């Protein structure tokens, strides 16, 4: 089950990376996916932590997306056409909104994983209630 979630979390992060960079080589996207998968394998020991890290990466990617778009649209001229300015504005608004959403979501998942780690283990035996120590009578 853990491996399936690592594969799905890696896919989510890789698709986000591919959407940011668009025309980047598939080998770079596969390299990113391998790096994310290895990171999740080492750092995340539970399903909550896998998705916490995956959504945090998606939030960071959402934050970087408008910056990358601005760098790609900025050409040789200092002034941008009005259509490109509208594209940048919508990218900034949507990028900021989705970034805040995914980072907040990952924060909640990290808190959930932390509480689950600090909860008492179910393997600990239950206290023996109802049993009383009886004194043995001495026979004289």
What does the pLDDT read at residue 129?
61
Instruction: Indicate the number of domains in the chain.
Output: 1
pLDDT at residue 29, rounded to an integer: 92
- Residue 27 in any domain: the answer is yes
pLDDT score recorded for residue 60: 94
Q: Which residues of the chain have pLDDT under 50?
A: none
Residue 135 lies in a domain: no
DSSP H or E run through 12: helix 2-21
Domain-located, residue 123: no
Reported as a single tens digit per residue, the pLDDT across 118-138 is 877 665 555 556 555 555 667
Q: Give the domain extent around 86.
A: 2-117
Q: Concatenated DSSP letters for 66-132?
A: HHHHHHHH--SSSSPPHHHHHHHHHHHHHHHHHHHHHHHHHHHHHHHHHHHHHSPPTTSPPP--S--
């Amino acid at each position: 089950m853990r491996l399936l979630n690592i594969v799905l979390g890696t896919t989510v992060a890789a698709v986000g990376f591919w959407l940011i960079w668009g025309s980047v080589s598939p080998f770079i996207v596969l390299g990113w996916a391998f790096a994310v998968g290895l990171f999740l394998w080492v750092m995340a020991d539970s399903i909550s932590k896998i998705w916490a890290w995956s959504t945090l990466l998606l939030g960071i990617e959402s934050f970087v997306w408008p910056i990358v778009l601005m760098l790609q649209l900025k050409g040789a001229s200092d002034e941008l056409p009005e259509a490109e300015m509208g594209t940048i504005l919508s990218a900034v608004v949507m990028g900021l909104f989705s970034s805040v959403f995914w980072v907040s979501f990952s924060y909640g998942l990290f808190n959930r994983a932390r509480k689950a780690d600090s909860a008492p283990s179910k393997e600990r035996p239950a206290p023996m209630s109802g049993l009383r120590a009886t004194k043995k009578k001495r026979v004289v």
